[in-house]
Structure 1
């Protein structure tokens, strides 16, 4: 199983960023100073790369090498450009189906969702550059390798993806309990993008304001929530059911 690649050292990370490597996250030592370190910080902010300031002990656990106060995790996949992906899917003649993940944080949930998405014909997954689960070894393992088959895009904010989908004629459906509609009341037959929220906070309220439709899963037991990957599977297979009915 391919694991996430690490690079270490301030200069090495600067060069990797300038070479357009797909960097998931950079860990920087708290309290570190210096001209080169400041240059790296500036570059990380400019590129919108997920960054955490941690004690040196954390960096020492990440690598035994001379890290100089900086360790980066490089994604094992190459991310797609959202505009090219959406355009290619539309031009292919098929009915688009996209999945937007609003800061999903658990890598195993992420991997499980990627696996289900691949099995249900999702055309691509869009995630936010900051705040979400990385594509790492656990993601790859849980996805059963589907991460290598599923186009994944990164955007600055999920709202950017919502606006782009809507401008492309794709209906945006939010999976949220903050509605009276169940997913069985909503049509998934036309081009659509489904948004799933994070495990603890759900979908960002500002994002909910701009979606086209909201839908929830009916919950008949005492526990009023489902694991996000299970909920996502229910939404995707309802989409499959409705679309298969058209073909038949």
Structure 2
């Protein structure tokens, strides 16, 4: 169900946190001091909520209301735990297919990926609590409403999610150009988690090392990479192709 996606004001955000609202990200005014601000900062740290410090001009662009130096994005969806995703997928007759996003930051790319994930039968998307693109109104719009249909889990660290999935019998395939192996040479018929990286840096080295397989797409032109949402669609539909032909 859809909810308000923004709140503003230090007291309002403190109340929202204490009421267990799903807060994706908080923007705080640089240099702002005071007891209330310190209380809010303490709550953000305690609840591991993503917060960034920005100039007041940024806050004024986010809202025309009296923000008091703080604006929060409220997620319009309810997040799952990774345990819930795995348990739910294990009840199905088809092999689980998960998608892990390593520090993807663009909300429109995120929305496009969610839309493709829904179309390809992905059992769940896993993102990191800090540094990941939030689920905003733009995300919902770009996903064509798929964000309400595909379960999304937040974890402290993507690498921990990888270890949990592997312990649950799920192989991890990372999409990267730093390999000689093609996605077309890897079996995606078994239980699989596909990792896609950030727009600018790709997948972090520690995650590549933890993966069971690394795979790339053949690029026949002069440009060295695809948009991450496009690459993700190709990977997911290769999994669909293999499973349909199995």
In 1, the alpha carbon distance for the partners of 2:20 and 2:168 equals 27
Contact 1:3/1:137 (<8 A) preserved: no
C-alpha displacement of 1:60: 2.2
List aligned pairs for 1:54-73, cutoff 5 A: 54-73=54-73
Distance 1:5 1:167, change over 3 A: same
Shift of 1:4: 5.5
Q: Tell me the SS of whatever aligns to 1:194.
A: strand
| Equivalent residue number for residue 175 of structure 1 | 175
CA contact (8 A) 1:3 1:136 kept: no
Q: Secondary structure at the match of 2:178?
A: coil
Question: Which sections of structure 2, spanning at least 5 residues, go unmatched?
Answer: none
Partner residue in 2 for 1:47 = 47
Correspondence for 1:38 = 38
Q: Secondary structure at the match of 1:209?
A: helix
In structure 1, what is the equivalent of residue 115 of structure 2?
115
| Regions of 4+ moved over 3 Å | none
Quote the Cα distance in structure 1 between the aligned partners of 2:40 and 2:13: 8
> Mind listing any 5+ residue stretches in structure 1 that lack a counterpart?
none
How many pairs does the alignment contain?
245
After TM superposition, give the deviation of residue 206 of structure 1 in Å.
1.1
Cα 1:4–1:195 shift into 2, 3 Å? farther
Q: Find the counterpart in structure 2 of residue 127 from structure 1.
A: 127
State the distance in 2 between where 1:60 and 1:68 align: 10
Q: 2:95: which partner in 1?
A: 95
Shift of 1:61: 2.3
Match of 2:6 in 1: 6
Please say if residues 4 and 137 of structure 1, whose CA atoms lie closer than 8 Å, have aligned partners that are also in contact. Answer: no
Query: Residue 229 in 1 paired to residue 200 in 2?
Result: no
> TM-score w.r.t. structure 2 length?
0.96
Partner-residue secondary structure (3-state), 1:179: coil
Equivalent residue of 1:60, what SS?
helix
